[in-house]
């Protein structure tokens, strides 16, 4: 058997997250079902990370073992024929046995999209609709950089324990505003993200936009030595894993 790394895209709307769950429909479960058919034996994969229920991906990665693949394009086509229409294997490549899809990762990029203007049913599956309401774009745009750099994000994750003491380095946060739709997309690039971290950070920024809190309030929560987890999570459907970075 050979070791491979696959890149997959999916709409998370109909799934209970990436991670395999015995009684629920998941992305990992569908991938393993297809791989088991191709391998003609029960087979498992290892994902680069877990996405929540209803979260999407354009560049999730996973490692797996399979019989030697001689024609990658043909293998991808057969693999995709065994998957639901909302999941697609994009590429595969052979990797060393010591490669780990999760622990060999050096960074991840996510995008969060939301709209506070007119509802568009053709976009609502991939962005959070907040209602047609007043939103202070300037305050939002002024506040996001509070999360840039190295911080202790213990109050922006529900994770109980962390081997890195909740320390993460956010390299880039890049928001884009579309005034015609009153919609914002915001790119996050970091060496890693923890459970609900992006949705809690976006939740805090949304509170600023709705004038329920300030940038100073976020900074105080971020710098606090006491654990006091932020309680407002942005909706899952607005989040997409864009890329998993190695090397």
The yes-or-no verdict on residue 38 having pLDDT over 90 is yes
Residues 83-128 have pLDDT tens digits of 999 999 999 999 999 999 999 999 999 999 999 999 999 988 899 9
Q: Which of 197, 27, 6 is nearest to 112 (CA)?
A: 197
Split at pLDDT 50, 70, 90, the class of 71 is: very high
Q: What is the rounded distance in angstroms from the CA atom of residue 98 to the CA atom of residue 49?
A: 17
pLDDT band at 247 (very low <50, low <70, confident <90, very high): confident
Judge whether 165 and 152 are in contact, CB under 8 Å.
yes
Helix (H), strand (E), coil (C) string for 132-196: CCCCCHHHHHHHHHHHCEEEECHHHCCCCCCCCCCEEEEEEEEEEEECCCCEEEEEEEECCCCCC
**What digits encode the pLDDT tens for the residues 187-200?**
999 999 999 999 99
Question: Which amino acids are annotated catalytic?
Answer: 52
User: How would you label 58-94 residue by residue, b for 16+ Cβ within 10 Å and e otherwise?
Assistant: bbbbbbbebeebeeeeebbeebbebbbeebbbeebee
Q: Using the 8-state DSSP alphabet, how is residue 15 labeled?
A: S
Q: Which percentage of the chain shows pLDDT scores above 70? A: 100
* Residues whose CB falls within 8 Å of the CB of residue 131, separated by 6 or more in sequence, listed in order: 116
Give pLDDT tens digits for 151-210. Answer: 999 999 999 999 999 999 999 999 999 999 999 999 999 999 999 999 999 999 999 999
CA separation for the pair 221, 39 (Å, rounded): 50
Q: What is the pTM of this model?
A: 0.96
Give me the residue label for tokens 């890693």: 192
């Amino acid at each position: 058997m050979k070791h491979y790394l696959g890149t997959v895209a999916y709409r998370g709307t109909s799934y209970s997250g990436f991670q395999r769950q015995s009684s629920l429909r998941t992305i990992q479960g569908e991938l393993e079902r297809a791989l088991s058919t191709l391998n003609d034996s029960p087979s498992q994969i290892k994902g680069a990370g877990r996405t929540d229920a209803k979260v999407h991906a354009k560049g999730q990665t996973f490692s797996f073992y399979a019989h030697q693949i001689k024609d990658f394009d043909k293998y991808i086509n057969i693999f995709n024929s065994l998957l639901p229409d909302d999941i697609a294997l994009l590429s595969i490549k052979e990797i060393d046995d010591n490669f780990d899809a999760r622990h060999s990762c050096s960074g991840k990029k996510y995008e969060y999209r939301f709209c506070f203007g007119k509802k568009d049913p053709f976009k609502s599956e991939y962005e959070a609709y907040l209602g047609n309401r007043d939103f202070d774009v300037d305050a939002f745009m002024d506040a996001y950089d509070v999360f840039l750099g190295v911080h202790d994000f213990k109050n922006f994750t529900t994770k109980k324990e962390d081997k890195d003491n909740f320390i993460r380095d956010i390299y880039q946060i890049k928001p884009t505003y579309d005034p015609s739709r009153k919609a914002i997309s915001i790119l996050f690039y970091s060496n890693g993200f923890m459970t609900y971290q992006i949705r809690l950070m976006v939740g805090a920024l949304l509170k600023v936009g709705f004038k329920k809190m300030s940038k100073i309030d976020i900074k105080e929560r971020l710098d606090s030595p006491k654990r006091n987890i932020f309680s407002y999570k942005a909706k899952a459907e607005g989040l997409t894993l864009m890329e998993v970075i190695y090397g």
